Amino acid sequence: MTRSTPRWHLRPLVLAVALGSNIAYSQTEKLSEEQVEPKQATRALEEVIVSAQKVEQSSQDVPISLTAVSGDMMRDLGGAGLQDIAPYIPNVRFSSDTDPALAQINIRGFGSNPLNAAFESSVGFVQDEVFFARPSYYNEAIFDVARVEVLRGPQGTLFGKNTVAGVFNVTTQSPTEEFSGFVQATQSDPDEIRLEGAVGGAITDWMAVRFSAMDIDKEGQLYNQFLDRYDDKHEQDAQRLKIDLTPTENISVELLGVVGETSANYWGLQLQNLDDGTRAFLQNYDPNIEDDPYNHRTSYDQPGFITKDSQTLSAKMDWYIGKVGAVDELTSTIVVADTELNLDSLVDLDTSPADLGRLTVASQYEQQSFEWRFSGSSEGLFGLGERLDFVAGAFLFQSNFAQQTQIIAGDDLGAYLTTDDVLQLASGNSSLNTGGLLGALNLAGLPIATLTSAVIGDDRYVLDYLLDVEAGALFGQFSWYLDEHWVITPGLRYSKEKKNGVASGQASCAQAALSLPCIMGTALSAENYNEPNLERTETDLSPKLSVQYYINNDTNLFVTYSRGFKSGGFNASSFGGEDLNFEPENATTIEGGLKGEFFNNTLRLNAVAYRTYFDDLQVLAFNGAFFDVTNAASAISDGVELDFTWLTPLPILQVSGSVGLLDARYEDYPDAPAPIAQGNTAKQDLSNRRISLAPKQTASLTPNLQFPLFGLAASTSVDFLYQGDQYTDGDLDPATFLPGYTTISARFSLASLEQGWVISVGGSNLTDEKISGQTIDTVFFPGSYNSRQKSQRKVFASLMYNW
């Protein structure tokens, strides 16, 4: 049995791509002029080509659970980012659809909270074959996308490092032989303008270029009634240049450069569940203070901001060597990359109209990576089997990260010391109060705030964190085709990683010269420390084994065992220098499934059942102001993932959908942090309790109609998207529980077959569901919370031209 691996080629966008899981670029048929005629040609789903195993092959031949999403679909949604396509992918969750820096992604219940800079993401991010180790890259250059592949489960054999939960593998469009491009303008309400475009083609017979760009200007939805501004206002622009060179018929080189800049108001939180004492205190600063987390209104005094810029240069060279001994089609691939990302931010630490504390973070990140691999095939192994395809290589990585965090006392901190909240934090009893006795000292008009601010002066606690990483790996994988039915795919990766760090915390204030304690350091229970020589070296061996049985050329069953490793590190937010080290985590998954195409290739159905076991799971614990990195003992995730695409007997109707079932829970976690209302140091036993940010069900259903209309090609789609109930904070505080919800999106487009014009209108969350993406503890107000609300209803109109 022969399974071809055809090369991917770009199809112009004519119609909206149907949505759903495994909704790749090839799943919506282009309506040709012949198809507009009453007599329809035989329909069939096109092959979906992916690079999930470092070689181009059909997604149906990859023995893991994956979803492929096309760039056409993302543009059809009005210029979407990765967070916008997550609802269509089973068991994948983004905590925020508005944060430009702190992308938290969970796959099968596992991910990494980016609030602590030491925490590397458990979900790897790869773009154009370059692995990026910081979560801020998820929002950097998502434009002119060809496809996004979401690989669920440990991907420790072939991809970068720290991919224990999965990988987002993004491929952007490459230059075409013919001059081509597109331009798209999208206007949305709430007010947002997105411009995206690309142009390029062959300049000579050995050189082709493509230039693409994006510009976003978003007014925002979260209104700050105190500062009279929108606190999620967002501006972003980015440009990419790709150059393809073919100096010989056997060598091809791709040169790539990307730059991006982001400027936004920050950081988009709303108060929730204020008690009477806290409300009375805050009303001195804003009489209209409120704690509704679902009204897109907030009230805090610091004009928070974030600025971010990045630059990436990479080069990829493919050398087709050909036949060497018993090896056929031997190809050498080298990928080298250099990138840097700078970030500067200010946030209102108390998220209130009182000036209690400010948080500034400035960081610089640089990364260099090098990968050299070989791929090819031979006639079996030791003379056995029909064919053997292999990929093997080496990966080198180094990075430098420097961050300074300052927690600065506000002018109203002295007045805050007269509140019951201070007693509650000190005692760990959130119900403790003085009956208003302390609060009476802070009545409007009394000069207590002025007097105390003069005494406090410039008072801050400063955290400095430096981290140098050197990592290397050897990897290999081969697929052994025993006969027309059986394929065995073993793989192995040996990794070694060395980290050197510096961590320090220092209180700074005027009264320190008099040997008096600093206010902010005291409030945080922080001590001065300096650890200049942190060091750890770790090695790992991650195996993989897949067995596939092809019932026929279109349908196969598979079982895959895989293991992943995520390195340990040093706590970037310690307030005393204790417990700076945290240990590596390991993930082991076994999954079995079916991938098939039925009814003359009009129905594609993929189904997977899995179990993942995590050992020494890395988690964050809220310490009153920041999040410390610790290790839970162990965790288990069981689940099912199913997706389908169906070209129905009705010629104009296609239906896509997905279902994810998830049971993610701690197996053993006896010393887990308790809700902060029980005290900063309170513990609880979360053994056999569910993990946060792990909805028990996710589902999508998208019927798509394509039909001729007045000589044009029309398309309309409706998306029904469901996400089940979940906790949104790691301590499983009942106040952070989010019930399940359903949102509805829809689009309608008209396309000119001759000229490539596409006019679209649509919207997301059309029923305007009020949804909290995440609820976490506040810093200063025990028993109260900060909530990050997901976007409200959005409608858009888009004009696109392809040539």
Q: Do the Cβ atoms of 372 and 333 come closer than 8 Å?
A: yes
- Inform me whether the pLDDT recorded for 469 exceeds 60: yes
Q: Is residue 8 part of a domain?
A: no
Token pair recorded at residue 629: 């990195």
pLDDT digits (tens, 9 = 90+) for 255-282: 999 999 999 999 889 999 999 989 999 9
Most confident of 270-284, 505-519, 668-682: 270-284
DSSP 440: G
DSSP state of 137: G
Residue 196 burial (CB < 10 Å; 0-12/13-18/19+)?
A: buried
Token readout for 624 is: 């009153």
Residue 2 lies in a domain: no
Q: What is the mean pLDDT of the chain?
A: 88
Closest Cα partner for 469 from 495, 492, 493?
495
pLDDT band at 106 (very low <50, low <70, confident <90, very high): very high
pLDDT tens digits, one per residue of 292-313: 999 999 999 999 999 999 999 9
Give me the CATH number covering residue 360: 2.40.170.20
User: What SS3 state is found at 405?
Assistant: strand
Please say whether the beta carbons of 303 and 284 come within 8 A.
Answer: no
Confidence of residue 421 (pLDDT cuts 50, 70, 90): confident
With H, G, I as helix, E, B as strand and everything else as coil, classify residue 134.
coil
Q: Is residue 13 part of a domain?
A: no
Tell which residue, 193, 393, 293, 261, has the closest CA to residue 799: 193
If one counts the domains in the chain, the total is 1
Predicted confidence (pLDDT) per residue in 749-795, tens digit: 999 977 689 999 999 999 999 998 889 888 889 889 999 998 889 99
Q: How many whole angstroms separate alpha carbon 669 and alpha carbon 684?
A: 9
Residue 741 lies in a domain: yes
Buried b (16+ CB within 10 A) or exposed e, 612-650: bbbbbbbbbbbbbbbbbbbbbbbbbbbbbbbbbbbbeee
Q: Is residue 364 part of a domain?
A: yes
Other Cβ atoms within 10 Å of 177 Cβ, number? 11
Question: Phi and psi at residue 351, in whole multiples of 5°?
Answer: 45, 45
- pTM higher than the cut 0.85: yes
Q: What domain range is 517 assigned to?
A: 33-802
Q: Where does 352-447 have alpha helices with state H? A: 413-416, 420-427
CA distance to 75, 162, 368, 389, per residue, from 493 (Å): 36, 12, 20, 17
Residue 701 included in any domain: yes
pLDDT (0 to 100) of residue 363: 96
pLDDT at 95 over 80: no
Cβ atoms of 450 and 431 closer than 8 Å: no
The predicted pLDDT at position 438 comes to 57
Distance, CA of 8 to CA of 124 (rounded, Å) = 24
pLDDT given for residue 25 in this prediction: 33
Which percentage of the chain shows pLDDT scores above 70?
Answer: 90
**SS (HEC) of 442-491:** HCCCCCHHHHHHHHHCCCEEEEEEEEEEEEEEEEEEEEEECCCCEEEEEE
Q: Quote the pLDDT of residue 677.
A: 67
47: in domain = yes
The bridge status of strand 486-508 relative to strand 460-481 is antiparallel
Element (H, E) at 672: strand 672-673
Q: Evaluate if residue 577 carries a pLDDT over 80.
A: yes
Q: What is the pLDDT of residues 533-549, one digit of tens each?
A: 999 999 999 999 999 99
- pLDDT(427) > 80: no
Q: How far apart are CA 29 and CA 46, in angstroms?
A: 8
Does 19 map to a domain? no
